[in-house]
Amino acid sequence: IRDYKVTGVQTCALPSSALGRADLLLKLGVFEKGLYIILSFIGINYGLHGIVYANVLGSLIILVPKYYLLKIVVGISFKDHFLNYWSIVSKCGIMWIVLYICSSYLEESSCYTLLFINIVIGSMTYLSLNLIFKDQIFEEILTKLKNPLNK
């Protein structure tokens, strides 16, 4: 059995199929798509926000069986997975707070202007947080951008 590094969302699919348990992956996929369809039909009654909330709820509901499957098949727990990504989650939370504060001042803007400003403020906030906390992945990206010819 090969060792697998926790690498994000694909971790839920890759190890289970690589270990010969594609049947569990298929059953989980059918359950997930069925759940999304049911929740989307419920969310349609409440408009676009209802659909968004239905998808978020579906993601939270499907999170439990995915990590249960990972723990059984591969031995990766939710705690191990979350500890690898706590910095990303915390930066996204800070970015959301900054966007919430900035959007409260821009309520009178048009829809497209507000979208553009939110994208710019959000990306600048996330990039500045990465520069402040000096993440390893961000450092690798910066070195590749500085030396594009060196491979």
Q: Report percent pLDDT > 70 for the chain.
A: 77
d(CA 108, CA 9): 37
8 A C-beta contact, residue 16 and residue 71:
no
Query: How many CA atoms are closer than 13 Å to the CA of 68, on its beta-carbon side?
Result: 7
CB atoms within 10 A of CB 70: 21
Residue 34: what pLDDT? 92
Sign, CA dihedral 98-99-100-104, equals positive
Give me the mean pLDDT over the 77-105 stretch.
78
Q: pLDDT for 19-42, tens place per residue?
A: 667 777 788 888 889 999 999 999
Q: Mean pLDDT of all residues in the chain?
A: 76
Mean pLDDT (whole number) for 131-139? 71
What pLDDT is stored for residue 41 in this prediction? 92
